[in-house]
Structure 1
Amino acid sequence: MTDKSHDRFQLERLAFFSDAVFAIAITLLIIEVHLPVTTPETEQGIAQGLADLIPQYIGFFVSFFVIGRFWIGHHRVFGRLQSVDDGLIWRNMLFLMTIAFMPFPTALVSHYVSTRVAVGVYAGWLTFAGVLNLLLERYAMKGPLAAPGGLDDLRRWARAGSAPIIVGVLAFGFAMVSPHLALIPLLSSPIITALVNRKPKAV
């Protein structure tokens, strides 16, 4: 196996492993959305039980988008690389740790959505994941890791990687005022991401 083929093989192994972590984490989110338990089992009782699960629905959809958005960025970045080194591997492992842990703060905020502690933990973890993701993307821009012609895309996506940090910081700040206010930046995360990704107009 040539050095180039070996580098490609190692990169693919790392990408496959990362995809598996993303897939497992995003699947585990639904485990916390349970069937409603009602006594007696009437139409009205089931409807009320489903309504009571609204915080869990919101937690699932928000975190599904968050993890999905992280995966899209990760997929794009790794598609512009030609090799890996120990620095990239360890930064990737640390970032994947935040993804694998994401179902826990999601369950916490889904069950205790009216508390500052639960919402603060969720927003803080989102911010932490965003920081590690940004560090990973910026490291990928250095040295000979980037494939020819891929450096410009990596720079642009690294800028877009700041969106989860912005959302997390805003959600944490809003949560300290009122836990329910934190839903504003969390539910607006697709809009915030689109604004960060927007290309500046040429002067």
Structure 2
Amino acid sequence: MDNPENDDITRDEIKKEFQLERMILFSDAVFAIVITLMAIEIKIPENEPLTDAHLPEALVHLMPTVLAYIVSFGFIGAIWYQHLKMFSLLKDYDRGLVIRNMLLLFFVGLFPFSATLISRGKGQMIPFFIYLGMILCCVIAQYVLYHYIVKGRPSLRINTDLSEHEKELDKRKIAVIGFSLSALLITTSYFMIPDPGMKPFAMLWMCVYAVVFRVIVKRRFQKSGKLPR
């Protein structure tokens, strides 16, 4: 005879798997819509004549928009890939997971707005700061979600080796701290530099961050005997 208790467990597991799948599909839809909305911004104005004489100039004016799309596409693609890896660890969900996932999607959803500001800002720094802030918020939100999955709620995870994920989480913690500090230094330096022509050099802090982050991560994992990928 069938065991009713086992049937209840099976139905409960199927229900949890289905609900978790819905959350993943919803997240994928948000990522896809955000990328689509940014691509829609790449368009030549309707009043622009598409003649051999005017088309090259119109395409040149589109380059900031295309560049913003390329950078944003790469960043959102990286977030989606990490999101895929994170959710591959899950077998269940709870309120905390849903809230943290929605927080990440909230900031991802603002990318079309911030990318549009960059493309139409014509070299202004305020749109750049807004765009940088969106990236920082996404990085922090993703770290919070990742930490919740790996460290916060073990009961939600499948039984698997977490050594690679713990190493990745450690790297992301360093990245969040370093990126936050770099954003603060860029903003402070920009407003403290009196010469308007020198203000764009404040962005060099991002290059310093990239180098220092690589050195710190390499030394940290060499000491622990685990080299980062």
- For residues 48 and 158 of structure 2, what CA distance do their matches in structure 1 show? 61
Task: Name the residue aligned to 1:24.
Answer: 33
Residue 158 of structure 1, CA deviation: 2.4
Tell me, yes or no, if the aligned pair for 2:178 and 2:213 is still in contact at 8 Å: no
Alignment coverage as a number of residue pairs: 201
Tell me, yes or no, if the aligned pair for 2:185 and 2:205 is still in contact at 8 Å: no
Q: Identify if the C-alpha distance between structure 1 residues 76 and 17 changes in structure 2 by more than 3 Å, giving closer, same or farther.
A: same
- For residues 29 and 62 of structure 2, what CA distance do their matches in structure 1 show? 28
Task: Name the residue aligned to 1:123.
Answer: 132
Q: Does 1:103 align with 2:117?
A: no
TM-score, normalised via structure 2 length = 0.73
Looking at CA atoms only, which structure, 1 or 2, has the larger radius of gyration? Answer: 2
Runs of 5+ in structure 1 lacking a partner?
none
Within the candidate set 181, 200, 203, 2:221 is matched to: 200
Q: Aligned partner of 2:148: which letter?
A: Y
Task: Give % identity.
Answer: 28
Q: Aligned partner of 1:21: which letter?
A: V
Q: Identify if the C-alpha distance between structure 1 residues 179 and 56 changes in structure 2 by more than 3 Å, giving closer, same or farther.
A: farther
> Relative contact order (alpha carbons < 8 A, sep ≥ 6): 1 or 2 greater?
1
- For residues 48 and 29 of structure 2, what CA distance do their matches in structure 1 show? 40
TM-score, normalised via structure 1 length = 0.81
Q: Aligned partner of 2:104: which letter?
A: F
Report the aligned-residue RMSD: 3.3
Residue 170 of structure 1, CA deviation: 3.6
Q: Does 1:47 align with 2:56?
A: yes
1:121-141 superposed Cα distances (whole Å, 9 cap, x missing partner)? 100111011111110110112
Query: In the TM superposition, what are the counterparts of 1:1-203 in structure 2 within 5 Å?
Result: 1-35=10-44, 41-141=50-150, 142-143=152-153, 144-162=155-173, 163=175, 166=178, 170=182, 173-174=185-186, 177=190, 178-179=199-200, 182=203, 185=206, 200-201=221-222, 202=225
Runs of 5+ in structure 2 lacking a partner?
1-9, 191-198
